[in-house]
Amino acid sequence: MSVLQYTEISNISSDKINILGRTGKKRQPLPVFFNGGGVEVVVTGSELWIDLETDSDVNEMWVALEINGAFIARQMLLPGEHSLCLFRSMEKTTPKRVRLYRELQAMNDDPKVKLLFKGFKHDGEFQNVPVYSRKLEFIGDSITSGEGSYGAFDDVDWIPMYMSASANYATMTAKALNADYHLVSQGGWGVFCGWDNDVRHNLPSVYEKVCGLAKGEMNEELGAQEEYDFASWQPDAIIVNLGTNDVTSFNQPEFLNPDDGKTYKMRTNTDGTRNREDELKIVSAIIDFLTMLRKHNPNAQIIWSYGMLGSDLNLVITEGINKYKENAGDEKVSFFQLPNTTMENFGSHMHPGPKSHQNAAKELVDYLRNKLGWFE
Amino acid sequence: MSVLQYTEISNISSDKINILGRTGKKRQPLPVFFNGGGVEVVVTGSELWIDLETDSDVNEMWVALEINGAFIARQMLLPGEHSLCLFRSMEKTTPKRVRLYRELQAMNDDPKVKLLFKGFKHDGEFQNVPVYSRKLEFIGDSITSGEGSYGAFDDVDWIPMYMSASANYATMTAKALNADYHLVSQGGWGVFCGWDNDVRHNLPSVYEKVCGLAKGEMNEELGAQEEYDFASWQPDAIIVNLGTNDVTSFNQPEFLNPDDGKTYKMRTNTDGTRNREDELKIVSAIIDFLTMLRKHNPNAQIIWSYGMLGSDLNLVITEGINKYKENAGDEKVSFFQLPNTTMENFGSHMHPGPKSHQNAAKELVDYLRNKLGWFE
Amino acid sequence: MSVLQYTEISNISSDKINILGRTGKKRQPLPVFFNGGGVEVVVTGSELWIDLETDSDVNEMWVALEINGAFIARQMLLPGEHSLCLFRSMEKTTPKRVRLYRELQAMNDDPKVKLLFKGFKHDGEFQNVPVYSRKLEFIGDSITSGEGSYGAFDDVDWIPMYMSASANYATMTAKALNADYHLVSQGGWGVFCGWDNDVRHNLPSVYEKVCGLAKGEMNEELGAQEEYDFASWQPDAIIVNLGTNDVTSFNQPEFLNPDDGKTYKMRTNTDGTRNREDELKIVSAIIDFLTMLRKHNPNAQIIWSYGMLGSDLNLVITEGINKYKENAGDEKVSFFQLPNTTMENFGSHMHPGPKSHQNAAKELVDYLRNKLGWFE
Amino acid sequence: MSVLQYTEISNISSDKINILGRTGKKRQPLPVFFNGGGVEVVVTGSELWIDLETDSDVNEMWVALEINGAFIARQMLLPGEHSLCLFRSMEKTTPKRVRLYRELQAMNDDPKVKLLFKGFKHDGEFQNVPVYSRKLEFIGDSITSGEGSYGAFDDVDWIPMYMSASANYATMTAKALNADYHLVSQGGWGVFCGWDNDVRHNLPSVYEKVCGLAKGEMNEELGAQEEYDFASWQPDAIIVNLGTNDVTSFNQPEFLNPDDGKTYKMRTNTDGTRNREDELKIVSAIIDFLTMLRKHNPNAQIIWSYGMLGSDLNLVITEGINKYKENAGDEKVSFFQLPNTTMENFGSHMHPGPKSHQNAAKELVDYLRNKLGWFE
């Protein structure tokens, strides 16, 4: 074994490391807030280690490793300091492209969860990393958090093990298009309310912070609650995959909001159809969210991409988009339905499995190529 | 060879023959107006022939044959009287389920085109045919006419040979769901106007006749221009696959309508986006068409199903649907996007090939199963 | 419609027509003896017709049509003179590549069966046809005759309708490799004996004639029983797909040969295994057949390719090949197993369906590319 | 977190643990010698940990985790004592079926490599494990060691990271058939000699020991060099996937054997064909190995299954099998060719990738179902 040198993340020049996923200003240690977040380096040398720190309570951290674009490893990381060997015994002079990224979504429920990347131990040199001229932002719910993308069909526990960025349509789409990407997602949340009528659980409420989902003092110190600097990373397209929980709320009991002591419920009519007033709350939330997205991303194509767990909300979503378009005179917003998950393609707890994510990515890649003129 | 008996179509009792496709009252000879139209019988005996008559000018007739659900033959039929052997030398006592159907769409351009089924020659008995408790109506353009579903990628002639019901998502969908189905479609037409800005070329204008597309005296005598008796066949779901030509019209030259001497053009703005006034013409046409469909089909689920050649009109279509819904208080109308045709799945002249039709059928079948509760 | 000109087959110069399939010297009319046999031309003009003549008793003729490499039509042809329109109303100046070929195998049982191509009616010019520098010969049984490649799973009649060259691994293989090909096959036959222990039903006994399978005076006049001129068409590879019937014979009753009044039976031992003496008859037949093939095809790679309906005879076949190799010192003979037909890929009467033929073709193409260095 | 109880492997009764892979008598700690080796338990409780110990030099250990049959994790294990959390925060009363197994082949080159399973920490109860009434043994080379089943197409390092049991046709086959299985394999080895003409590298030489591949004092203490107790585990079928390296040796330089100071080389003739004497060495090795296999496994179906990296040795292998059959009068031996790896299905360093392993498993499963009558 060679003698290893230690290099802090912040001491690697920006042309020699790609920071994956949305981050704030903090670089040392580097907080990794979202699934799909992490680092990419290209190194020579026979081995490479990463030093990182994790914490969590019930929901432990998971990470995945890719080398030269191929999936290599995926493992649980319990609370503590870790030094992970990413590769060893490899030919020294050949550059290896290495990605280590978070599998677990930002955990709104668990303020102890953290993942900090500190530095690399290596016996080679950092080389220039690929420059991704294309940028995609995905905003979503459990689907975009990769819930159920691992696990057996009958598994119903709600645990980190079943979530991923590695078997996720967003990652697959970005990879196929050779694009950098950010994920901002939370299982159970919607554009207006959560699956359980919890009106606090809407993505717009957290979108403008670095990681509005990550609560508590520790996350605050890591910069999660700072205003996100949208100018630092302007996506070519924003894919909003929300609506699946909003539509579920109509068939769930009312929710007592502990914050205001009031109960909330999206209502159905006696014939089983959705109460129109409540539909219009979603419509309004969509209009407001599109307005917010456009404010921060003046040039992005905004694509509402929905349908992997049913397309029941198509007309409500497009009503919102159409009203936004009419109000704002904004032509760079579109609707694209994703293919539904059929029985043979479910993963665990009735969420899309890997094949469903592949199907969605395939169609979304085709759509983005055409929409953005990304043909080569 | 056995001695064959001749039975006229009209002499076969209705439980022993399924008339496929939309027809009027005429049964002898039976006019077959649409692709997918034809007959289904279940017969014993060693052989079966059908007597039919065709006429045409430039656009000759094509038919396809299925036996026991399997594709067997497909051939051109030039003008004249034909006696086609459908099978022979088969085991006499075994019942065979036979479908012979038209591959060529109703030919609006060619009033000479006709296909008349007269009777069967057979040495067995007609048995009870399957009773299809499910009914689907497809209304569409060239995609539903199966244009390009046969032929090589480079073929660009616009000829009957390349159209079909046999390699067609509508047929595949109906077969997968064990449903009877009607097709009403015309290549190049839209919900508001044709691909070339011809405002006469909209499906709503012909929907209420038996086969409003079939012009001329001969077709009139066959009953094509009679009011269609909607009560005679009420679909469970209507699938409207229109919009592909409407959206194309924006990028085509103006059209001089010989009927009124005026020119028509769907306009684009200087930035390439669509003129809003012209978009609203499509929106209005959609509202009106949905109103017409509902009038004639009070209980059908109406599904606008679009996207096999791009989904650029999604928001205009859903705007129309949403406005119709709001006006009419009609909850049984929905929007379902079909998968786009990708490069490897094109058939001839840049239309969906068989694999694209299969992909569309697969997703549409899943949607219909869920929407209509057709699970077994 | 243009005025059509008539050109006899024999008046088309050899650079302007490809005769498909094994033939003798007769060119006018052109006898088409085998499935896959027929003609290929490249013509301009708006339409093209072929004049042909058929005869048959129980087993009627079937043909298939390809234009520019795409399947277009497939139909039954009853006894008589036919003038078939192959295309019409096409753009006059564009050359169209047209293949019309026989779907029905050579019919050993039915000496009346014939298919004669006489000439074309056309309003364009014959152009140079593709020159196929690669040549493949397939020798087989019902699999190579495409039995069951059409028809429903439950269909069990043994009739021409279910046989094909159009949904056949041999055609698919040749097309993928851009090769000319000959088929010599007969359902139920083996390398030593037929499925029913009929020892007369072995392909070697007919291989050296133009079409040794076609019996009777009529076929004799057409040249079927002449010695085949092997020098006229030397394949790069011979694919022998025999053994499926030989192995079946062990589990069938004895056969009384009307020619010599003797009974024949491939025997099994009391434990169900095959009688060794009888296995050795197959081994000998293989040695003899390989010797015959080599004699007539001195440079061809000979590939015994077997396995689409089970691979039970692998060791007997390879025993024969190995003994032949040892005796002859011939290194250009190999064994390649084809993928078995699994339940979901059966066609009719428990024969390979189209998907099974595709699977076999895919693997055989890969093998041939590697074996023959055909990489582009 | 619950209080965890520790249970040694050897204290779990045999109906509550499945030992995966070939082992000797030692149970505490449990040495895991081969890829695919490991343990399976079914436990209740909210969490489960395994204590294990590893050692290695250049070639570190890798393990994979399955829960309820689904792939969950895969990671490197550097030398030392490890306590791995296999799951946590799960519903306590639901039984979870857990498999942890070795990804890395037995390492003949590296006597330091070890993997010892010691015990579980758990807060639930061990329940009865599935009883696998079917048993399969796979004997192979790098293909069966899963070389290249992970990693990018261009990766050429020869390191543990790229080997697996998790993306391996043997594992897939056993899973599809609900069978227990043993793997005995070594990259680069053959039935007669290794790819580099090293005549010591033949699987028969190590087959009769528990793990003849594992050298050195440490492994000896673990029981690797003991005679394997074949009576303890009699497979229904033995799949021998050898020959790929034997055939490669003909095109490699001579090998100087340090053990006897002699050079070895499988020779080619001047025309590029294989030297017959050297072919016969392979034939003899096959005969001898089949004899050895039969001696220890009197009732097993022995299937030589070869072809995932070309089938050039088909005739030599079948010559060996046929001669063995003839000598031994053994009818329970067969040859089954596996599908070749085509360009789109390679993994890393020109070895079969996951899709190629899937293809092989699919065909092998079909073959085994038919051969062994395993139809449900």
Report the complex ipTM. Answer: 0.96
Produce one character per residue of C84-101: b if its CB has 16 or more CB atoms within 10 Å, e if not: bbbbbbbeeebbbbbbbb
Which candidate, D298, D291, D296, D362, places its Cα nearest to that of D328?
D291
Residue-wise pLDDT for D112-136, tens only, equals 999 999 999 999 999 999 999 999 9
| Residue in D311, D331, D342 closest to C336 by CB | D311
Residue with token string 């003698």: A3
Question: What are the residue ranges in chain C where pLDDT is below 70?
Answer: 1-2
pLDDT at C376: 80
Residue percentage of chain D with pLDDT more than 70: 99
Shortest CA gap B230–chain C (Å): 34
Which stretches in chain B have pLDDT values below 50?
none
Q: Is C280 helix (H, G, I), strand (E, B) or coil?
A: helix
Quick one: how far is CA C240 from the chain centroid? Answer: 11
> How confident is residue D187, by pLDDT bands cut at 50, 70 and 90?
very high
Angstrom distance (rounded) from CA C239 to CA C230: 16
The three-state DSSP-derived secondary structure of B226-269 is: CECCHHHCCCCEEEEECCHHHHHHCCCCCEECCCCCCEECCCEC
DSSP string, C163-198: --STT-HHHHHHHHTTEEEEEEE-TT-BSS--TTS-
Measured in angstroms, the CA of C153 and the nearest CA of chain D are apart by: 19
User: Residue B315: which of A310, A335, A342 has the nearest Cβ?
Assistant: A335
pLDDT tens digits for range B286-311:
999 999 999 999 999 999 999 999 99
Burial class (CB in 10 A: 0-12, 13-18, 19+), D238: buried
Question: Which of C58, C71, C154 lies closest to B68 in CB terms?
Answer: C154
Give CA separation, A44 vs A41, A88, A293, B327, D75, in Å: 10, 11, 40, 66, 22
Q: How far is CA B147 from CA B108, B152, B350, B352, in A?
A: 15, 12, 9, 8
DSSP element (H, E) containing D121:
strand D114-122
Please tell me the predicted confidence (pLDDT) of residue B376.
Answer: 80
- Contacts of residue A272, defined as CB under 8 A and 6 or more positions apart, other chains included, come to none
C117 beta partners: C30, C52
Q: Which chains touch D (3 or more CB pairs under 8 A)?
A: A, C
Closest residue in A to B311 (Cα) is A336
d(CA C121, CA D9): 84
pTM: 0.96
The distance of B331 to chain C (nearest Cα, Å) reads 41
Nearest to B240 by CA among B289, B194, B296: B289
pLDDT tens-digit series, residues A305-335: 999 999 999 999 999 999 999 999 999 999 9
Of the candidates C82, C46, C40, the residue with the CA atom closest to the CA atom of residue C61: C82
Beta-carbon count within 10 A of A38 CB = 27
**Close Cβ partners of B186 (under 8 Å, ≥ 6 residues apart):** B105, B106, B108, B141, B142, B145, B201, B203, B206, B213
Please give the Cα distance from C8 to C95 (Å, whole number).
19
For the four alpha carbons of C213, C218, C222 and C228, in that order, the dihedral sign comes to positive
Measured CA to CA, the distance from residue D36 to residue D319 in angstroms comes to 31
Check residue D125 and report its DSSP letter.
-
Cis peptide before C29 (omega within 30 of 0): yes
Instruction: Work out whether the CA dihedral C306, C308, C309, C311 comes out positive or negative.
Output: positive
C and B in touch (3+ CB pairs within 8 angstroms): yes
Of A213, A60, A270, A239, give the one whose Cα is nearest residue A140. A239
Burial of B369 (0-12, 13-18, 19+ CB in 10 A): middle
Candidates D280, D305, D314: best to mutate against C (most CBs of C within 10 A) is D314
Q: What are the residues whose beta carbons fall under 8 Å from the beta carbon of D260, sequence distance 6 or more?
A: none
Q: How far apart are CA B374 and CA B358, in angstroms?
A: 19
Contact A315 B318 (CB under 8 A): yes
**What is the pLDDT confidence band of residue D376, given thresholds at 50, 70 and 90?**
confident
Q: Is the dihedral of CA B175, B177, B180, B184 positive or negative?
A: negative
Q: How far apart are CA A265 and CA A254, in angstroms?
A: 4
- Chain D contact probe: residue of A60, A83, A97, A161 with most D CBs at under 10 A: A161
Would you call D85 and A60 a contact, using CB atoms and an 8 Å cutoff? yes
- The burial class, CB within 10 Å (0-12 / 13-18 / 19+), for D53 is middle
Q: Cα angle at A286 between A282 and A290, to 5 degrees? A: 170
Where is A336: in which H helix or E strand?
strand A333-337
Dist. CA C308–CA C148, nearest whole Å: 13
Reported residue count of chain B is: 376
DSSP C123: S
Neighbours of chain C (3+ CB pairs under 8 A): B, D
pLDDT at B2: 67
Which residues on chain D place their C-beta less than 8 Å from a C-beta of chain C?
Answer: 271, 273, 307, 310-311, 314-315, 318-319, 321-322, 325, 331, 334-337, 339-340, 342, 363, 366-367, 370
Three-state SS for C297?
A: coil
Give residue-wise pLDDT tens across range D192-238: 999 999 999 999 999 999 999 999 999 999 999 999 999 999 999 99
Is C250 strand, coil or helix? Answer: helix
Q: Which domains does chain D have, with CATH numbers?
A: 5-127 (2.60.120.260), 135-372 (3.40.50.1110)
Distance CA C86, CA C83 (A): 9
Locate the chain C residue with the closest alpha carbon to D344. C366
pLDDT the model gives residue B110: 92
Map residue D89 onto helix, strand or coil: coil
| CA pair distance B51, B28, nearest whole angstrom | 12
Whether residue D161 and residue A87 make contact (CB cut-off 8 A), yes or no, is yes
Residues 6+ apart with CB under 8 A from B299: B234, B236, B332
* pLDDT range class, residue A2, cuts 50, 70, 90: low
Distance CA A99, CA A86 (A): 9
The nearest CA of chain B is from the CA of A252 a distance in Å of 20
* Strand D38-43 to D18-20 pairing: antiparallel
Mean pLDDT of chain D: 97
Task: Give the span between the Cα atoms of C208 and C202, in whole angstroms.
Answer: 12
Q: Do D155 and A70 touch (CB under 8 A)?
A: yes
Helix/strand/coil for B371? helix
Distance CA C254, CA C263 (A): 6
3 state DSSP class of A360? helix
| Amino acid (1-letter code) at residue A276 | R
User: Residue holding tokens 């929106």?
Assistant: B283
User: What pLDDT, on a 0 to 100 scale, did the predictor assign at position A376?
Assistant: 80
